[in-house]
Amino acid sequence: MDVLLCAACGRPLTRPVRLLPGLPDSPSWDGLPGPDGLRRAPARMPRGTYAADPLPYGAPFVPAPDDEEYDGVVPGGKSMSDERGLLVSAGPRGTWVLHPLDAAGLDAHPDLHRHIGCCGPCGEYGANRLCPCGAEVAIMAGDCTTDHEIRFVPESVRVTTAPAAEGAA
């Protein structure tokens, strides 16, 4: 089992979690509110697990490659458009993806723009969760248009082995 620590101050940011060999597929969702009354997809990651996403995720967004080179797969599964045309994520690669309830003690970012979304934060505007020391460490996504997950930015965290539980044999 591992724990993710803030790279700036060393504070634990997660409960003990087990690394999965790959990122699970997004769960299917009917678009209706869940048992908690919120309109968001089920969490992508099972509780107590984490995985690395090799694709870029979130901000910044850049123009998609020319049609000749672009295979139609949107890096990070996210795209948007503006006056420049179709945009794709050029955000951090290798984000650590966890169930949102496996994160511990994070604060909301004071820049409210980073929390934009219809039914929750969409995760497209950069890190929106802070370590109590003030370091930007994670991107929470829980909108009706996104997977429900928290992604730790690899440059902002360290992975370490969780201390053994007392009394464990």
DSSP string covering 82-130:
ETTEEEEE---SSEEEE-GGGB-S-EE-S-GGGG--SSS--S-SS--EE
pLDDT of residue 75: 46
Q: Is the pLDDT assigned to residue 70 strictly greater than 80?
A: no
pLDDT of 39 above 90: no
CB crowding 29-64: b at 16 or more within 10 Å, else e: eeeeeeeeeebbbebbbeeeebbbbebbbbbebeeb
Identify the domain containing residue 72 by its residue range: 59-91
Q: Kindly state whether residues 6 and 81 are assigned to the same domain.
A: no
Question: Do 47 and 64 lie in a common domain?
Answer: no
43 pLDDT band (50/70/90 cuts)? confident
Per-residue model confidence as pLDDT tens digits over 97-146: 999 999 999 999 998 888 787 777 878 888 999 999 999 999 998 877 77
Cβ atoms of 151 and 138 closer than 8 Å: yes
What's the pLDDT band for 80 if we cut at 50, 70, 90? low
Give the percent of the chain with pLDDT over 70.
81
Binning pLDDT at 50, 70 and 90, where does residue 158 land?
very high
| Inter-residue contact 122 to 100 (CB < 8 Å) | no
Q: CA torsion angle for 24, 139, 115, 125 (degrees, to 10)?
A: -100
- Phi first, then psi, for residue 161 (nearest 5°) are -70, 135
Mean pLDDT, range 11-36, rounded to an integer: 84
Residues 47, 100, single domain; the answer is yes
Q: Above 50 in pLDDT, residue 52?
A: yes
Q: Is residue 72 part of a domain?
A: yes
The band of 30, judged by pLDDT with boundaries at 50, 70 and 90, is low
User: Is 168 part of a structural domain of the chain?
Assistant: no
Examine residue 42 and state whether it is found in any structural domain, yes or no.
Answer: yes
**Residues 131 and 112 reside in one and the same domain:** yes
CATH of the domain at 132: 2.170.150
